[in-house]
Each structure stands twice: as structure tokens, then as C-alpha cells.
A and B are shown apart, each in its own frame.
Chain A
Amino acid sequence: MQISTRTSNDIHIVAIAGNLDSTTSPEAQKALDAVLAGARKVALDFSELDYISSAGLRVLLGAAKQLRASGGTLRMFGLNQSVREVFEISGFSAILAVYPSEAEALGAM
């Protein structure tokens, strides 16, 4: 897994590439915690994410809860078919803000 962070205006964009699973989720958690400490608007770029397991979903749910509590916004985009399927099965597609493209995710954020 590789994580890279960039900012566009005041939006922090975190790109997670590879697998988000039980092995990599502690590192992803750490990276997201660091971003969340100083950000209100966060977008997760999943265009290079291969697959996500429940350990990864836990990290996303934690981030969503934290941002919600602080009045922030979390959006994600670029999900492949497998990640989309996992979001559907887990019900995450109904509770997290998923967008088809970066432009749509960042628009009006």
C-alpha cells in the first residue's frame, strides 16, 4: 500500500494505492489521523486502490465519524468494481459520500 497526500485549495486529498486490509490498515489509520488532525475537508482518492477488506472499512468509518463530529466533510472517488461491491455489501455506499470522479467529489465541497 502507498499513501500520498496533496491539497487543492483547502481540501486535503489522500490517495491510497494497493490493498487496504488487515496488514496495511494500521499504517493507513496513522496517515489519516495525521491528516484529520488539521483538516476539515478530506477527499480519499481510491483510483489506485486494488481491494478493501473490513479492516480498511473500519478505518474509513472511524475517519467519517471523526470528521462528522468536528463538522468536517469526507468524500471518496475512483472506486473500482471490487471496492464498489464491498461498499454495497457492507452498506457503506449508503452512509459514505462516494463520487464517480475527482471533479465531482471536490466540486462544491
Chain B
Amino acid sequence: MRHEFRMMVGADPGGVEKVNAVFAEFARTYALPEAVRRSLNIALDELLANELSHGMRGGDAGPVTVEVELDQERLTATITDDGPPFDPFRQAAPDTTLSVDERPIGGLGIHLVRELMDDVSYERRDGHNVVVLVKQLVVG
């Protein structure tokens, strides 16, 4: 048994919302555990907000393809774009021990993705950035 959906979103601020709405429906349909759904919701928000809006891509954001696959063992999300090479995981983890006053605002997103997912990977493939996120459904 295997279920999947695939969608393309443009570089507009509503793109993240569209993906999360489709994923929420997918999660409901296949009775995905709440913890798994929430973790991927957060990971998609972190990665897509980076890609689709501002900042990290130097204003060079093009359309992004999101594919989500579910089988008995795991939930896999693949995010693909054809922008300049960009590995979102190539940044140091933030210092999460700083106090309220010392803490810079931001820098946590990718750290959350790494910690909430079981596996994350980046690959430059045929002129595309391909990010794969995996969340196991069964622990152990």
C-alpha cells in the first residue's frame, strides 16, 4: 500500500499555505499519526518559507515541486527546485543554550527540520536542488 501526492507551487507567499492545506487533507485521508503530521507540517514550513519567499535564495526563487509519499513504514517528502545550487543543511546548528537577551532572532528553522525528521538529505541532481525528508512511522 502506497499513497502519494505531487504539487508545484510558485514563488508567492501563499505557496506554503497551499502545500500545508493539501498535506493536511492527505494526512486526514490516510489517518497519519498527529505527531508525524505535525513534524512534517513544520519541516515543510521551514524549507518552503525559505525557498518561496525571501532571503536565502537571493530573490531567485522559482517554482518548487513537493512530493509526499506514504507507505507502511515511512512518510517521505521530496522538495525540488531548479534554482542555483543551495544546500539548506549546510549551516551550523544554532546555540540553543543562550538566554532570552543573548538569543538572536532566527536561525532555528533548519535545526528544527534536522531534529524533527529521522533522515534529511540534499542532492544537486540534473540542475535541480533535491531535498528529501523522511519520518519513520514506526519507532524502533
Contact = CB atoms under 8 A, between A and B. Distances in A.
Contacts of A22: 16, 45, 48-49, 53
By CB atoms of chain A within 10 A, which of B17, B34, B38, B105 has the most? B38
3 tightest A-B CB contacts, nearest first: A91-B96, A22-B49, A54-B109
Q: Range of interface residues on chain A? A: 20 to 34
Contacts of B97: 91, 94
Contacts of B99: 95
Interface of A: 19, 21-23, 50-55, 57-58, 61-62, 64-65, 68, 81-82, 85-86, 89-91, 94-96
Could you tell me the dominant secondary structure of chain B's interface residues?
Answer: helix
Contacts, number: 80
A51 B38 contact: yes
Given A57-B108, A90-B96, A91-B97, 4 more contacts: A21-B20, A55-B109, A86-B116, A91-B98
A65 to B, nearest CB: 6
Contacts of B48: 22
Q: Range of interface residues on chain B? A: 20 to 34
A21 B105 contact: no
B45 A90 contact: no
B46 A53 contact: yes
